[in-house]
């Protein structure tokens, strides 16, 4: 589809661009000469020079920074226009329903499992009743996919993976651009979810697909029930994520991280190797390796254990002082 036509449809008035056949959208560092990207914040201007993007949506104030090999398209709100353009490249969830999954040996597929096109299922894997697997999903060997699990398109599941009933792998991440009037325009998510070998995922857990690239659950990770993993997260090898934890978008963890029940994180955070966050801990900043944390606001676990005890003691003392006056 011509970029000119798309821009017209999303309400952007630009001078006529060269005859540009747009093939997709991508972030600056990933975009090819057939793709469009955007810059919204000053901090990303430095990435323009090295980008291979064919075009970039950019504010008037920043247009001088666009190198010659990239077409600059001046708009008031680059993120918003980018979101609108993303809709032209949304892939359908199911291009069709086929009984044409490519299955290895000893695959068991129960009744009422539904698969899209180009699904691959490895040796010895069991797909239970009510499972829905969308286009282009690959599942490895000796997996157990329990009833009513849903796996969105292009997800990639390793060997010996267990996914318990009702979990959803690859749903769209929660990402929108915002108009002046306070409306939210969906950013289509065309990234995927990758789940490596030996992962176990509990019941009714949700793992969102990436906006671009991937959300990745690394080898040996164990995730409990009702956990939320946001788009573009990476969970390090052998990490343990207990029930009802929420990991916000683009947060990454090192290996053998433990997140206690109902803990949560902000987005775009890194949690170092072997970090332990106590149940209900609220992570709002990067955490160095081999440290232990708890509480909200988050404190080092040692401090947290004493903090409220000290406060109670102080209040009691003050009360005594006040009474003695």
Q: Which residues are catalytic?
A: 231
Asked if 236 interacts with a copy of itself (CB under 8 A), we say no
Asked if 204 interacts with a copy of itself (CB under 8 A), we say yes
Asked if 88 interacts with a copy of itself (CB under 8 A), we say no
Can you tell me which of 123, 280, 291, 300 binds a copy of itself, judged by CB under 8 A? 280
Using H for helix, E for strand and C for coil, what is the string for 100-153?
A: CCEECCCCEECCCCEECCCCEECCCCEECCCCEECCCCEECCCCEECCCCEECC
> In terms of CB distance, is 62 or 255 closer to a copy of itself?
255
Can you tell me which of 130, 197, 291, 300 binds a copy of itself, judged by CB under 8 A? 130
Can you tell me which of 166, 216, 217, 269 binds a copy of itself, judged by CB under 8 A? 166
Task: Choose the binding region for a copy of itself from 23-31, 38-46, 70-78, 121-129 (rule: CB under 8 A).
Answer: 121-129
| Interacting residues of 321 by C-beta distance below 8 A, sequence separation 6+ | none
Asked if 310 interacts with a copy of itself (CB under 8 A), we say yes
Residues 15-44 binding a copy of itself (CB under 8 A) are none
Task: Choose the binding region for a copy of itself from 13-21, 43-51, 117-125, 179-187 (rule: CB under 8 A).
Answer: 179-187
Asked if 243 interacts with a copy of itself (CB under 8 A), we say yes
The CA-atom distances, in angstroms, between 166 and each of 63, 172, 204 are 48, 16, 5
Asked if 206 interacts with a copy of itself (CB under 8 A), we say yes
Minimal distance, residue 47 CB to a copy of itself, in Å = 28
Minimal distance, residue 135 CB to a copy of itself, in Å = 12
Asked if 302 interacts with a copy of itself (CB under 8 A), we say no
Minimal distance, residue 270 CB to a copy of itself, in Å = 18
Asked if 144 interacts with a copy of itself (CB under 8 A), we say yes
Task: Choose the binding region for a copy of itself from 13-21, 30-38, 74-82, 256-264 (rule: CB under 8 A).
Answer: 256-264
Residues 318, 320, 322, CA angle at the centre, nearest 5°? 70
Give dist(CA 117, CA 22) in Å, integer: 26
Can you tell me which of 165, 272, 292, 301 binds a copy of itself, judged by CB under 8 A? 165
Minimal distance, residue 294 CB to a copy of itself, in Å = 10
Give dist(CA 3, CA 36) in Å, integer: 9
Task: Choose the binding region for a copy of itself from 30-38, 53-61, 76-84, 235-243 (rule: CB under 8 A).
Answer: 235-243
Asked if 230 interacts with a copy of itself (CB under 8 A), we say yes
Asked if 222 interacts with a copy of itself (CB under 8 A), we say yes
Asked if 272 interacts with a copy of itself (CB under 8 A), we say no
Residue linked to tokens 């040796």: 123
Asked if 89 interacts with a copy of itself (CB under 8 A), we say no
Asked if 184 interacts with a copy of itself (CB under 8 A), we say yes
Minimal distance, residue 299 CB to a copy of itself, in Å = 8
Q: Is 200 exposed, middle or buried (0-12, 13-18, 19+ CB in 10 A)?
A: middle
């Amino acid at each position: 589809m011509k970029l000119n036509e798309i821009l017209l449809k999303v309400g952007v008035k630009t001078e006529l661009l060269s005859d540009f056949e747009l093939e997709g959208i991508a972030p600056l560092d990933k975009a090819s000469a057939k793709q469009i990207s955007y810059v919204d914040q000053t901090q990303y201007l430095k990435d323009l020079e090295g980008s291979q993007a064919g075009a970039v949506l950019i504010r008037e104030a920043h247009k001088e920074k666009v190198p010659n090999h990239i077409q600059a398209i001046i708009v008031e709100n680059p993120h918003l226009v980018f979101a609108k353009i993303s809709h032209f490249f949304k892939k359908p969830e199911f291009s069709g329903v086929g009984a044409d999954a490519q299955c290895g040996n000893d695959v068991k597929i129960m009744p009422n499992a539904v698969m899209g096109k180009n699904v691959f299922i490895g040796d010895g894997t069991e797909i239970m009743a009510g499972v829905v697997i969308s286009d282009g999903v690959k599942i490895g060997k000796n997996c157990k996919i329990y009833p009513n699990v849903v796996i969105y398109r292009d997800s990639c599941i390793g060997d010996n993976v267990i996914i318990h009933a009702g979990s959803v792998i690859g749903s769209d991440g929660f990402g929108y651009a915002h108009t002046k009037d306070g409306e939210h325009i969906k950013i289509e998510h065309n990234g995927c979810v990758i789940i490596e070998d030996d992962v176990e995922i509990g019941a009714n857990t949700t793992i969102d697909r990436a906006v671009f690239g991937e959300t990745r659950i690394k080898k040996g990770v164990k995730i409990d029930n009702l956990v939320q993993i946001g788009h573009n997260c990476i969970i390090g090898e052998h990490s343990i994520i207990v029930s009802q934890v929420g990991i916000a978008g683009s947060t990454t963890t090192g290996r053998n991280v433990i997140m206690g029940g109902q803990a949560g994180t902000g987005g775009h955070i890194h949690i170092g190797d072997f970090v332990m966050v106590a149940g209900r801990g609220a992570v709002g900043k990067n955490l160095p390796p081999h440290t232990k944390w708890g509480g909200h606001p988050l404190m080092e676990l040692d401090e947290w254990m004493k903090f409220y005890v000290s406060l109670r003691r102080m209040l009691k003392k003050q009360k005594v002082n006040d009474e003695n006056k």
